[in-house]
Every structure is written in C-alpha cells, then in structure tokens.
A = this chain, B = another copy of it.
Amino acid sequence: MNAIGRKMENKLTNLLKIKYPIIQGGMVWCCGWQLASAVSNNGGLGLLGAGSMTPELLREHIIKCKAATDKPFGVNVPLIYHEIEGIMKVIMEEGVKVVFSSAGNPKTWTQQLKDHGIIVVHVVSSSKFARKAEEAGVDAIVAEGFEAGGHNGKEETTTMTLIPQVRKATGLPLIAAGGIATGAGLLAAMSLGADGVQIGTRFALSEESSASSPFKKRCTELQEGDTFLALKKLSPTRLVKNPFFDKVKEAEDRGASAEELLQLLGRGRSKLGIFEGDLTEGELEIGQIASLIDRIEPVETIMKQIADEYNHSLSLLQKI
C-alpha cells in the first residue's frame, strides 16, 4: 500500500495531462496568458480568467497562450457572466481543451462543451452542488472553502470540512480550493482525499499575474484577520479590509438591505481595486491565506517551492 517513493500520478493528473496536481485559479483581473502559460510550462494547469474579458480579448489571450506553451491550459468561466454566449463561442472556435465553470448551473453548458471534446470542471461550495455537477456530466469537481478569496458559498463550509464531504459524495477527480498556497497545504488537501488543488491567491500575487502592483503589494502585507467575508445579503465575497470594506461593514452592522448594499457596491469595483490598484475605493478580492504570503515571486519559483515543501512535509509524517 505504501506509495512513498513513487512519483505522483492520479486520475486528475491523467485527466488533465499535467505533471503536478496543481491548478491555477482563473481569477478575474489576474489571469491572462502570461500567468496561465507560466503555470502550464511549470507543470501545473494554467487558466485564463474569462470573467473579466470580452470575447475578443479572451480570443487574443488564448492565441497568445497557445504560442507561449505547448502544454495544456484552460479557461475559467463564471456561468452567470453577461457575455457568456460570446465567451463560449470563442472557447469552442479556438479549440480550448479545458473549461472550469463556476457561479451558475452546470447543466446549461456542460453537454455542449463536451460534444466539442472539451474537458469540463465545475466549481462548487457543497457536496449537494457537487452531486448536481456530476449529474450534469462534468469530468471533475473543484470544492472551494470559506477561506477562498472573492465570491464564496453561502454555507461557509471551510476547506477542512468541505473536502471530506465532497469526497464522500462523488468519485470524480476532486480539486481542493481555499486556503492552499504551499506544499504543506497541498499535502493537507491530498490527506483529506483530494486529487489535487486549485491555488488562487498565491498565483494572483505572482510576477506573471496581471493584477496591479499596488494590489499585489498590499496583499503581501496582510496580517491574519485582514480579509473578511462581506456582502452576505448579495453574494458572499471575501475582501481585504480597506475604506470601502469599512463602509460595507458599517452598513451591514446596522442591518442595511440588499438594495442598499447593491447601491453601495455600484459597478466595476473589483476592476478598480485589483486591476487599477485603487486601494481605498476598490474591492480587493483575495483569499485568507494571503497573510502567509510576504513576497511577489515568479511562477517558476512558486511551483518549485510548492513541490519541494510537499515532498519535505511528506517525509516528516510518521505512522501512528
């Protein structure tokens, strides 16, 4: 039974044809061809983040990503995105091999994508949604915990409690997300029964990320408790505590309605914060694990560190 010494190969690495069971989360405003191709070239699966692109911009990034890597890469698509039709058309026209879908009903697009030979992975926050995604025919599941950055499930189930539940609910390849940024985190996720991990925050703060420098710098300075799940009456979103967050908190503490919060949020705040670097009025979406990250590094360094730390942490484990 003891497989120590053998190099990792499992149903996820086989499905996605990757060396390491590490997926780079396809976050808005961070994930262009530079980041996705760097992750894929270093043994993981890079994802373009279509949620902050027009269809034509996505096409440009797909073409550049193909030129920059001969390894597999994918596209993350929030299914509730207003340009979804155009995005899916580009994905199919450009022969993208892998789609990670999130924030919406997996039944809507899964079959059509699969008919085009595309591998479909769906992001969920509960085992109930994992079962629904399996019924819709997806090839793998991302289960994302409460500690993840940005948009988040309503049930607030953490990665530590979510992964064993989803593992029980489905036999599909399972990717753990939320709170994972290191080799020790990868090892913990594999211990819980995952077949791999999706890492957002650490890659959002890499050199190749398209996020603005002020955003990246601020995020590497965060301490524990500096992100918080807010906007629960709209769509729960993990944000850095900044002046904009303070306004949201003040409103929520006095019982502000969803309508008032929507008004306060307005439009374009995640672009303002992440891409344009407005640290005061922007919505700064990042995971809780940012407090562990204190520098901006190239993807090559990050991947090497994760693999080395994983193997080292594994070597320290003892039988009980």
Give the B-binding residues of A (Cβ under 8 A): 1-10, 20-21, 126-128, 145-147, 154-162, 164-165, 168, 178-180, 182-193, 224-225, 228-229, 233, 253-256, 288-289, 291-292, 307, 310-320
Contact = CB atoms under 8 A, between A and B. Distances in A.
Given A145-B158, A159-B158, A292-B164, A320 B311 contact: yes
B182 A160 contact: no
Q: Which 3 A-B pairs have the closest CB atoms?
A: A255-B255, A155-B225, A160-B179
Contact of A288 (B1, B128, B158, B229): B158
A165 B3 contact: no
5 contacts: A156-B228, A161-B292, A307-B320, A310-B320, A314-B317
Nearest to A3: B318
Given A184-B191, A184-B192, A157 B4 contact: no
A233 to B, nearest CB: 8
Counting chain B CB atoms within 10 Å of each CB, which of A126, A145, A162, A179 scores highest?
Answer: A179
A3 B126 contact: no
Given A161-B147, A192-B188, A315 B8 contact: no
A51 to B, nearest CB: 24
B315 A165 contact: no
Given A2-B315, A158-B145, A292-B161, A8 B320 contact: yes
A180 B160 contact: yes
Contacts of A146: 146, 158
Q: Report copies per complex.
A: 2
A316 B188 contact: no
B158 A160 contact: yes
Given A185-B192, A255-B255, A3 B160 contact: no
A256 B252 CA distance: 11
Given A188-B192, A193-B184, A4 B319 contact: yes
Nearest to A7: B319
A310 to B, nearest CB: 5
Counting chain B CB atoms within 10 Å of each CB, which of A1, A8, A192, A228 scores highest?
Answer: A192
A258 to B, nearest CB: 10
B157 A160 contact: no
A34 B155 CA distance: 34
B7 A320 contact: yes
Counting chain B CB atoms within 10 Å of each CB, which of A127, A156, A254 scores highest?
Answer: A156
A182 B163 CA distance: 12
A6 B126 contact: no
Nearest to A287: B161
